[in-house]
Amino acid sequence: MSQEERDRLRDAFLQLDSMKYTYPDGVTFWDKQEEVHKGAHAAGQDVHGGPAFLPWHRELCNRLEKHLRQIDPDLSLHYWNWTTDPRAAVDGRAALFTTAFMGSAAGDIGDPFPDFESTEPGHVLVWRNVAPGPPLVADVVSVLFGIAVAPDDAITTSGGALPPESQYQALDAVLQSAHNYIHSGYIRGTITNPHFSFHDPFVFLLHSNVDRIWARWQNAPGHDWRLDPDQVYGTFGQDPASSVNAELQPWAGGPDGGVRPWSTGEDPADPPAPKTARDPSIVAPPVYDA
Ligand SMILES: [Cu+2]
């Protein structure tokens, strides 16, 4: 990302949190994403831990990107490669935790998001407690799953020897494990707890990386079935009771979906048909590394 691209992403995040961009209930577009995440998690939706983790968060990221493009039509959501130290400006990468981009790595995040509040007890502002050194994703993956190659590939090839219908489950287990470590073992602070994590703007750079790795797995040559809504989720997709076959909440309208629209451009009087994780708009992997 160039400096200009980082500036534009930061500015769009800031604008989404301004009073100019609010839902009918007065909540800003930015804060609504956090409300959606916390509400779905708290209501027992399969947001974390189950097979809908990946598609649910893809929908959330896709919706955020739509918001970003209302402000800056050429902007895309970017990602953080979680094998790299986000503080380090090395190898052509920029330091991310600066007052010009994502705020501080230690304590209250401050500029440029000094008004991004937290509802976490004991913290009125978003805060971080990033662990020393680069993330140890490769170590985490190899210790837990006994595989040690380049981290992205360690994740995308996990389960590759299994029958196709079991491969999503294997991928999901490794990817969730790496994701959990990044939240609560590496970035830490506000982002540790699912009830507060989406107050920190950095969470979207973390989650677009999760989504990028899922997309990378889907796009692996010779595995076209991973792009097929009826096959991508394997045995989960074949189980009518699985969360991947349930309407994605809260966007589907209930039980917590009293506030519409969840997305700008939706007509509150004529909400779109509820989606499941098998909706083509969710199964189709976004383009990363264009
Ligand atoms: Cu997460």
What spacing in Å lies between the alpha carbon of 85 and ligand 1's midpoint? 18
What spacing in Å lies between the alpha carbon of 209 and ligand 1's midpoint? 10
Which range, of 46-50, 61-65, 66-70, 125-129, averages the lowest pLDDT?
46-50
pLDDT at 96 over 80: yes
The DSSP output letter for 247 is: B
What spacing in Å lies between the alpha carbon of 197 and ligand 1's midpoint? 7
pLDDT at 75: 95
Mean pLDDT in the chain?
89
Fold entry, domain 3-283? di-copper center containing domain from catechol oxidase (1.10.1280)
Our measurement of the distance from residue 66's CA atom to the centroid of its chain's CA atoms, rounded to an integer in Å, reads 14
What spacing in Å lies between the alpha carbon of 206 and ligand 1's midpoint? 7
Q: Nearest to residue 259, comparing CAs of 26, 90, 5, 72?
A: 26
This prediction has a pTM of 0.93
Rounded Cα–Cα distance for residues 14 and 116 (Å): 9
Enumerate the β-bridge partners of residue 189: 128
pLDDT at 141: 75
To the nearest whole percent, how much of the chain has pLDDT over 70? 91
125: helix, strand or coil:
strand
Q: What is the pLDDT of residues 158-192, one digit of tens each?
A: 898 999 999 999 999 999 999 999 999 999 999 99
Q: So where are the chain's domains?
A: 3-283
pLDDT at 258: 47
Enumerate the β-bridge partners of residue 106: 129
| DSSP per residue, 45-85 | -TTSSSTTHHHHHHHHHHHHHHHHHHH-TT-------TTS-
Q: Note whether 14 and 91 are within 8 A (CB).
A: no
